[in-house]
Structure 1
C-alpha cells in the first residue's frame, strides 16, 4: 500500500505532535501546520521527514494556501484548538469568545472544505476531529471551550452523513485528562486560584474518572490511526472517548 498523506493541524506540539509522529513512524507521509514557528522548528528536528508549514486555521485564505502547498490529503486530523476565555460567562470577553469559535469550529470547517474536493476525486478519505470529554461532563468557567467543542461534534455528525456517499468518513475523539504540558499548566493555575496544592487538585480531578487515570498523547494517536485504518472502514459519524470514562468534573 502506498503511503497516505496525513495532515494534522496544530501538529507541532502536544497531542497533535504525538498523532503526527505515530503516523510518520508507521510509514505515512505527514504534514503539520501550526502558528508557533519555534514549535514547528522543534517538530521538524524531532521528526525527520515531517513537512511543517505555518498556518492559522482560523484564516480561510491561509488554509487554502496550506492545502495547495501540501497537496491532496487522504487523512485530515483537526486537532487545532484554543482554550478560550476562562471564568463566568458574564465576564467572558466577546472577542475571546469569537476567537475560540474561529479556531475550534470555523478552523475545522475551513480545513474540511479545503480537503474534501480531492478526497471526492480520490474515491474516499478520512477526517478525525479532536473534541473533549468535557462535552459530556460540563466544565464551569469554560463555556466558550465546551460550547465550541459541542459545535465541532455536531459538525462531525452532520458532515459524516453528508460525505458518507463519497466514502469519506468523519469521526471525533474525546480526549480525557491529558498528561501534557498544557494540562499541567491548567492544574497549576487551578491550584493557585484555590489555594491548594497541585497534588490535591490533580487527585480531585482523577476522582471524577472511573479508571482514575491520565491519558497519554500517544493514546489519542493510536485511536486516530485506528479510525484512519481499513479496520475502521465502516465507522463514521461516531464520537469516541479516550478518557478512562470521565464521569463528571468538579
Structure 2
C-alpha cells in the first residue's frame, strides 16, 4: 500500500491547461504520479487522441482523470473548464490550478496580421488565466487551501527581440500572480505563485540555431532544460512543502536569469 509520503498529492485534484504536449504533459504526469487526480485541458481536436491516451494511462494508476477540450480564447472558457473538470473528476473542488498553456509566435512560414497576433496572444496568455481564476470563485469556499500556479518565462525579463507581445503577456501574468496572492490569499486560503521557465527542449521549441544560442544562457549547465525539470518545480509548489510560499516567482531555468 502506498504511503502519504509516496503519494503526497493523494486526495487532491488539479486542472492543467496545455496538458497534452511538452511542459504541460510532464506537469500532468508528475502530479498524477504523486497521487493527484487531473483534468487535462487542451485546445485542438488534433490533441484528442493524446488526451484520451493520457486519461487511460492515469486511470490505470488509480487516478481519476478527464479530458476537457476548450477554446482558451473564448469568453466563457473559465467557467466551462471548471465545470467540466468537476464533473469529469467527480469532485466538489479542485485544489490545484496550473495555468500552463501559452503561445508566442505563429509557426515559421505562417503569416498573421499584427493586431490578430496581439489579440490571440493576450487572450490565451493573460485573459484565459483571469477567466479560469474567476471560474473558481463559486467553489473556493468549499474546502481548504487552493493553489494557483502560472507559467511565466524569462522572456518577461530578458526581452528578446521579436517577442515583445509575448514578453508583455508574461509580465502581465506575473503581476496578476502577485495581485491574486495578496487579494485572494486570506479570503480563500489561496497561495499563488509563478514559475519562470527558461529555454526548454520541447517539440515547440525554436529551431536548432536558436536552441544552440539558448544553451549559453544557463549557468548551472550549458544545456537546455527539460519538461521534467519544470514539472518537478510545479509539483513542489503543489505540495504542502510550499505552503508558506505565496506571491513569488520561482525560477526553472538553470540560472539563465538571476533576480
TM-score, normalised via structure 1 length: 0.86
Q: Kindly tell me: are residues 27 and 67 of structure 1, through their superposed partners in 2, closer, same or farther at Cα, counting changes over 3 Å?
A: same
Q: Alpha-carbon deviations, 1:190-237, whole Å to 9, x = none?
A: xxxxxxxx3xx4332212222312111011111111111111111010
Query: Could you tell me which residue of structure 2 aligns to residue 4 of structure 1?
Result: 12
Please give the alpha-carbon distance, in whole angstroms, between the structure 2 residues aligned to 1:167 and 1:43.
31
Shift of 1:175: 1.0
* CA-atom RMSD in angstroms: 2.1
> Across the two proteins, how many residue pairs are aligned to each other?
232
Query: Could you tell me which residue of structure 2 aligns to residue 95 of structure 1?
Result: 116
Does the aligned pair in 2 maintain the 1:135–1:146 contact within 8 Å? Answer: yes
Matched, 1:68 2:83: yes
Matched, 1:146 2:167: yes
Please give the alpha-carbon distance, in whole angstroms, between the structure 1 residues aligned to 2:240 and 2:159.
34
Query: Could you tell me which residue of structure 1 aligns to residue 41 of structure 2?
Result: 33
Does the aligned pair in 2 maintain the 1:85–1:93 contact within 8 Å? Answer: no
Query: Could you tell me which residue of structure 2 aligns to residue 242 of structure 1?
Result: 252
Unaligned stretches of 5+ residues in structure 2: 5-9, 60-64, 87-92
Superposition pairs of residues 184-195 of structure 1, within 5 angstroms: 186-188=206-208
TM-score, normalised via structure 2 length: 0.83
1:229 to 220, 239, 244: 239
The structure with more helix, counted as a fraction of residues: 1
Please give the alpha-carbon distance, in whole angstroms, between the structure 2 residues aligned to 1:151 and 1:235.
20
Matched, 1:160 2:181: yes
Query: Could you tell me which residue of structure 1 aligns to residue 204 of structure 2?
Result: 182
Unaligned stretches of 5+ residues in structure 1: 189-197
Structure 1 segments, 4+ long, off by >4 Å, are none
Please give the alpha-carbon distance, in whole angstroms, between the structure 2 residues aligned to 1:44 and 1:238.
34
